[in-house]
């Protein structure tokens, strides 16, 4: 029977942890404190302008009210539908463009530079730009549709279905470059020997993509997917500026509903309860994706 010797502790072995600890603590406080406060405030009936010392502890009343509030479930459905379409299309377009432009071709560098410009624009500015472009009377979209294609002008932001399409399109325009940058960085970091070996074995372009390249950057794709899910659920500025959540609640995401409850109706305790729901939904979806991407493998006795 052989035993492995335990590694000896050396004074310098903790040096890397000493450098990382301040950043970890700062991120932990910045992340955990707001989450803790959301949970804490959700048990109180508190409005803006009132002293918190006078706030009434109501226990789980806010959560019971939330579960029976049809508005909450309506905006949650809008959020899930919005997230499904934007993530599906952004991941598809981002990965597709990265595969097409991973190799040096003429004009690729210029295209990449132009393509990532939307990421440099503030969400507030994005909302203002596309609100003007989709304007029914002065917007460029209606102008060119009418003059070039002879189509009737559309009330883009005044129709529930068209307004939903408008915010989906705007989000795709802004965030597809984010997926593109992450995926193309992963593709360019792949060892060329593996791709060359697949070519020698007779693999065509499609086989190289689906059997070699994408499986090798699976972890990068999952990270990009999780980051976009988090961004979708916390997105607020673009929808607030473009449509304000309307018409009706056709474009009101859960984050925007929380904002309205907290600062328009001043129901901070109830808004915190809805924020807890948002945290749980994002956490649950993230765990589901991680579970599906890393299925448990059955062990076989050797």
Contact 229, 236 (CB under 8 A): no
Q: What Cα–Cα distance (Å) separates residue 104 from each residue in 107, 112, 194, 275?
A: 9, 11, 18, 45
**How far apart (Å, rounded) are the C-alpha atoms in residues 181 and 196?**
23
Distinct helix (H) and strand (E) counts, the chain: 14, 2
pLDDT tens per residue across all 302 residues of the chain: 555 555 555 555 677 788 888 888 887 787 788 888 888 888 988 887 777 777 788 888 899 999 999 999 999 999 999 999 999 999 999 999 888 887 777 777 777 788 888 888 888 999 999 999 998 888 888 888 888 887 788 888 888 999 999 999 999 999 999 999 999 988 888 888 887 788 877 778 788 888 888 888 898 999 999 999 988 888 888 999 999 888 888 999 999 999 998 888 888 889 999 999 998 999 898 898 888 877 654 444 44
169 part of a folded domain = yes
28 part of a folded domain = no
Please count the structural domains in the chain: 1
**How far apart (Å, rounded) are the C-alpha atoms in residues 134 and 167?**
10
79 part of a folded domain = yes
287 part of a folded domain = yes
Tell me which residue range forms the domain holding 111: 70-293
CATH of the domain at 112: 1.10.3720.10
Cβ within 8 Å of residue 217, ≥6 positions away: 183, 186, 187, 190
197 part of a folded domain = yes
179 part of a folded domain = yes
């Amino acid at each position: 029977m052989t035993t492995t010797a335990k590694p000896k502790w050396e004074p310098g072995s903790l040096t890397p942890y000493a450098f990382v600890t301040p950043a970890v603590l700062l991120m932990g406080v910045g992340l955990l404190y707001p989450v803790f406060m959301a949970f804490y405030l959700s048990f109180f009936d508190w409005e803006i302008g009132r002293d918190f010392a006078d706030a009434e502890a109501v226990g789980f009343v806010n959560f019971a009210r939330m579960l029976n509030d049809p508005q909450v479930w309506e905006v949650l459905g809008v959020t899930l539908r919005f997230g499904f379409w934007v993530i599906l299309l952004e991941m598809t377009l981002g990965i597709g463009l990265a595969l097409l432009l991973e190799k040096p071709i003429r004009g690729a560098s210029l295209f990449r530079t132009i393509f990532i410009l939307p990421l440099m624009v503030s969400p507030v500015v994005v909302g203002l730009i596309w609100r003007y472009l989709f304007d029914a009377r002065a917007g460029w979209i209606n102008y060119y549709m009418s003059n070039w294609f002879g189509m009737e002008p559309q009330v883009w932001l005044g129709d529930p279905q068209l307004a939903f399409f408008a915010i989906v399109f705007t989000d795709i325009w802004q965030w597809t470059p984010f997926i593109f940058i992450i995926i193309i960085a992963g593709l360019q970091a792949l060892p060329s020997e593996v791709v060359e070996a697949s070519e020698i074995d007779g693999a065509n372009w499609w086989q190289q993509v689906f059997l070699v390249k994408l499986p090798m950057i699976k972890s990068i794709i999952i990270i990009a997917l999780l980051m976009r899910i988090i961004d979708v659920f916390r997105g607020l500025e673009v929808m607030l500026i473009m449509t304000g959540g309307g018409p009706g609640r056709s474009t009101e995401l859960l984050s925007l509903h929380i904002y309205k409850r907290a600062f328009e109706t001043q129901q901070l305790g109830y808004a915190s309860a809805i924020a807890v729901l948002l945290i749980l939904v994002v956490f649950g979806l993230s765990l589901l994706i991680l579970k599906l991407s890393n299925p448990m493998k059955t062990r076989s006795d050797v």
